[in-house]
Amino acid sequence: MMSLATARNFRRNLAMALLAGTALLAPATIQTAAAAPAEVLANGGVADLVERVSPAVVTITAAQTAPTRTAARDLPPGFEEFLRRFGVPGLPGQGGGGQGRGAPVARALGSGFVFDASGYVVTNRHVIADADQVTVAFSDGTEREAEVIGEDERTDLAVLKVKTDKPLPALKFADSDKVRVGDVAVAVGNPFGLGGTVTAGIVSARSRDIGSGPYDDYLQLDASINSGNSGGPTFNMAGDVIGINTAIFTPNGGSVGIGFAIPSNLAKPVVEALKRDGKVERGWLGVNLQGVTKELADGLGLSKEGGALIAAVEPKSPAEKAGLKPGDVVLSAGGKPIKDTRDLARQVGMVKPGTKLDMALWRDGKEKTIAVTVEQAPGQPQQRLAKAEAQKQDGEEVAGLKLSGLTDQWRQRLRLPGDAAGVVVLDVGDGVEGLRPGDLITSVNNSAVTSPADVAAQVKAASKAGRKNALVQVRRGETTAFLTIPVDMG
């Protein structure tokens, strides 16, 4: 679970951290605004706004049956002793409380809010990732078990559903394109598990790229947000959601006054797709892009820098089929101006595959418009396999995993190319971390595998060599990573 650990993969070595907290005490009491701008305080503060919106803001607890994980895993420095004094289970040096095999361990605690009165809740994906049980607590003290409807790794968003016999208080998304630097921002959430907490400040920057992915377009806030605020809303003074709190700049695990929120205009279509389909289908163009500097603009005959320069076009891609060429500069897509490569990646990615997208190009010293029919990216799975569904599939048990050979049906379902090879993970047992249903294991101990028997042989070899873990290379969607599996479970 990614939460307060420094995000080492962020560009420019920024000390960013996702905001998911750990299992704490959580009385749900609204507190007063902590650091509001002077003009807001002078006009009576934000009490009326808080009273109106807080019933729709929730605390989310994610639990997992995982005896090797402890509640202290993602705590900021020095916070472990604070929790131990309150008897939080699962801390080093304490008995019981999640230490036995199969015992539920509360592994993350964050925030969220109701966006649909019929019981739909949005939060960050990293708050509930890989959880076996998710509970939503409301400000009136009621708790409801939630179903995970859908998750989107690229934007770090997830949609939950709770059962309700009456309409719930729900919040509206604002138009984040109208947000200006200097606008007042009010955040409500659950920092460090302390319950409903309100902070206020201003929007200190827009369109921040913190290096977390191609859809970076964060609002930067100086309202105090901390671990446990993940997934919680930031409001404008009308009480509408302008952003979903996701990350902070932190050298020490706590807030230093710089936080980041997913803009509502980026979040809203993702949330609606997850609610409707349980997944997000993204368009794919099939090009390599680079920014247009002042020097490149001059060489291309453009009056100013900006746009996305196509450096290469992949064979048989939507771009090639539409006639796009290296050297083209995309100036707008779908009627929206393209300022840089991130703009184009977001615009294409948020379009449903099969949709025609009009692109204004700069080519050979003049503008022209080309319609491109975007497609779904190869290797992008249609959706993550649900555990209950995966357990119905035939497979072989190896090292705590349920595995299947890669058939043409699996290639089609996981949107893998025809030459993909490996072993499909159908289910993951207790004690195996990182892997999940739908992953494709391509190698074990740096040896290619194409069947569960290959995996078993490599696990046995690792055990004979005296190793406690076997190294596995995993393909998940468009990404590849190395993980480990314990060999004593083989």
How does DSSP assign 142-188, residue by residue?
-EEEEEEEEEETTTTEEEEEE--SSPPP--PBP-GGG--TT-EEEEE
Given the residues 74, 152, 156, 328, the one annotated as active site: 156
Sequence-distant contacts of 416-422: CB under 8 A, at least 24 apart: 416/378, 416/379, 416/440, 416/475, 417/378, 417/379, 420/379, 420/475, 421/448, 421/450, 422/449, 422/450, 422/475
Q: Half-sphere exposure of residue 76, counting CA atoms within 13 Å on the CB side?
A: 19
The angle at the Cα of 126, spanning 124 to 132, to the nearest 5 degrees, equals: 105
- Active-site residue 74, yes or no? no
- Kindly report the length of the chain: 490
Tokens (6 digits) for 436: 């999940």
Given the residues 3, 54, 74, 126, the one annotated as active site: 126
Beta bridge partners of 138: none
Alpha carbons 3 and 1: distance in angstroms, whole number? 6
Under 8 Å between Cβ of 105 and 114: no
Alpha carbon 6 to chain centroid, angstroms: 16
Given the residues 224, 230, 332, 404, the one annotated as active site: 230
H or E stretch including 331? Answer: strand 329-333
The angle at the Cα of 154, spanning 63 to 347, to the nearest 5 degrees, equals: 150
- Active-site residue 156, yes or no? yes
Alpha carbons 264 and 219: distance in angstroms, whole number? 10
- Active-site residue 212, yes or no? no
The span from the first CA to the last CA of the chain, in angstroms, equals: 25
Please state, as a whole number, how many other Cβ atoms lie within 10 Å of the Cβ of residue 297.
18
The angle at the Cα of 261, spanning 221 to 34, to the nearest 5 degrees, equals: 40
Question: Which residues are part of the catalytic machinery?
Answer: 126, 156, 230
